[in-house]
Every structure is written in structure tokens, then in C-alpha cells.
Amino acid sequence: MVVPAPDLPARIRIHEVGARDGLQNEKSTVPTAVKAEFVRRLADAGLTTIEATSFVHPKWVPQLADAEELFPLVSGLPVALPVLVPNARGLDRALALGARRVAVFASATESFAKANLNRTVDESLAVFEPVVRRAKDEGAHVRGYVSMCFGDPWEGSVPLHQVVRVCAALRDMGCDELSLGDTIGVATPGHVLELLSSLNEQAVPTNVIGVHFHDTYGQALANTLAALQHGVTVVDASAGGLGGCPFAKSATGNLATEDLVWMLQGLGIDTGVDLGRLVATSVWMADQLGRPSPSRTVRALGRTPQPHKEQ
């Protein structure tokens, strides 16, 4: 049954991360052809922003070592295909293949900056500044990921001012969009609203913010709803609930795109996504990986998905 709630956006853009964030932590190498087919099926299901891969050094994320091979296989699709670029070399590789949307990945905490980037927070921002500047000069759209926005496995709760400082720095250097990452899944709705309000107070507007929740404590949908109530219209999610973070051992899976779409459909919020096709895609991908999808909606609808109709 579709029952709209007051003061929610009419439409949400889902930033699908399954093909990059979802697969990057897989221990067994996923064939390039399977990754390309995954992206194609996600596009066919109606997703319009699909993060394709990362131009990180293969030593750090071996699963994505095929970025140069994969990107040309999907670049002709009529969807936005962001790619992660960790540094100037990664940007060069992405631009050479025609990528028009790129992302940099910062941390709100010193511990995770050291574990993930082998730099301090300020050192990492200094590396990103010329990358963002050149990407903008080339006409690319730039997204800035900020990890550990709510909690850090080494430092515990993260002060709001640390997150706001990093977000403001990325915005000032030219990032078009920011994604707030709950990397270890410890956020709760009040914390989400407090951070969003703090960002607004420091001139970071809601319309440039996306949210990226992990479901470690089962709070991802509740946190997403809180963000929507604040006016956020971009939500990161991973088909089938795939993914985690290879540099934060306590990080479990991303918010499942199917679970998100089920909730949004029930609220009457448009996503443009065909839930049946999306579920079928995640069932297919789960077969490729040799294990069932952790998404509750995928499990509920199974191999014969039924549309979520108004009753």
C-alpha cells in the first residue's frame, strides 16, 4: 500500500554503488564480463547513476584492477557512470577513457585517513585539491566522499566539527556533491539530523549532500528516512546489499538498493527503478558470487518477484 508521509521529497536519485563499493571487498575475483553485465542490468532496471569502478592502484584493491578493461565495456550506456580516483594518476587514467564523473574519498578522522590513505586528514585534502581542480577544468562532475562521519572503529564517536571541516574543505575546493558515509553503521536518526543541520549552518547546503549508510545495527533505512525529512534527495545504496569496507573491519554491508526502493515506493516517492528487474539482477549477481543476497527485500520476493502495488 502506498501511503505518502508529509514533508518528504517527491523524487529521489539513487546513487548505485554495487558495482564498485559492493564488489571491491570480494575475495574471489569477479570476471570483468560479469561486472559489465551487472552494470548493464542495473541500468536496465532504471538506475541512472551507477558507480562503475575505481582507478586505485591494483595493490590496494585487487578486485578493481580491471578498471581500464571494464569502463569501455559500459561507457556507452545512457546513464551516469562515476568512478573513484584516489590521486592525480587515477584521474589521468579515468579521463583518458572518457570518464565525466569522478569521486575522491576523504576521511573525517585521522585514524581512518592513515589506514585508508596512509596520510593525515590535511595531507589527504592537499592531495585532492589539485585533482578536483583539474577534474573541474576538464568539465567533469566531482563527488567528495567523506567516510567515518558518525563513528570510527579506533576513535569512537566523531565530533560534528571534524566532519563539517572536511565537508567544507571539499566543497571549497570545488566538489559538486558530498556523500556522508556511516562507514561502520553506528549512526542513529537524531545524529543524522544534527550533522545535516550543522553542515547547513556552515554554508554546506542540503542540495549538494548525499547519504551513504551501512546497516551494521539495522539503522540504515531509519537514518535514510531522517535524511529525507531534512530534504536530502540523493541516497547511496548497493544492489543486493553487497559491500563493506576493506580498510574498516567492523564495516558490514551497504544499505540494499531493493530495501530502499521498497520503502520509497511505499511512501509514494519516485525513483524510476523497476523493483522486479532490480531484484532479478541481485538474484543473478548472488548466483555469480555463490551465496544468497543479504537484502531482505530480495529474499522476500525471491526468484519470482512481485511488483509493489498500491492496494
Tens of pLDDT along 211-241? Answer: 999 999 999 999 999 999 999 999 999 999 9
Number of other CB atoms surrounding residue 54 within 10 Å: 24
Does 249 or 75 have the greater pLDDT score? Answer: 75
Asked if 245 is an active-site residue, the reply is: yes
> Which of the following is catalytic: 149, 167, 175, 245?
245
CB of 202 closer than 8 Å to CB of 171: no
- Is this structure's pTM higher than 0.75? yes
Supply the mean pLDDT for the chain: 93
pLDDT for res 244: 57
CB of 219 closer than 8 Å to CB of 213: yes
User: Is 80 exceeded by the pLDDT of residue 306?
Assistant: no
Distance separating alpha carbons of residues 294 and 254, to the nearest angstrom: 10
User: In the Cβ-directed half-sphere of 31, how many Cα atoms lie within 13 Å?
Assistant: 5
59 band by pLDDT with thresholds 50, 70 and 90: confident
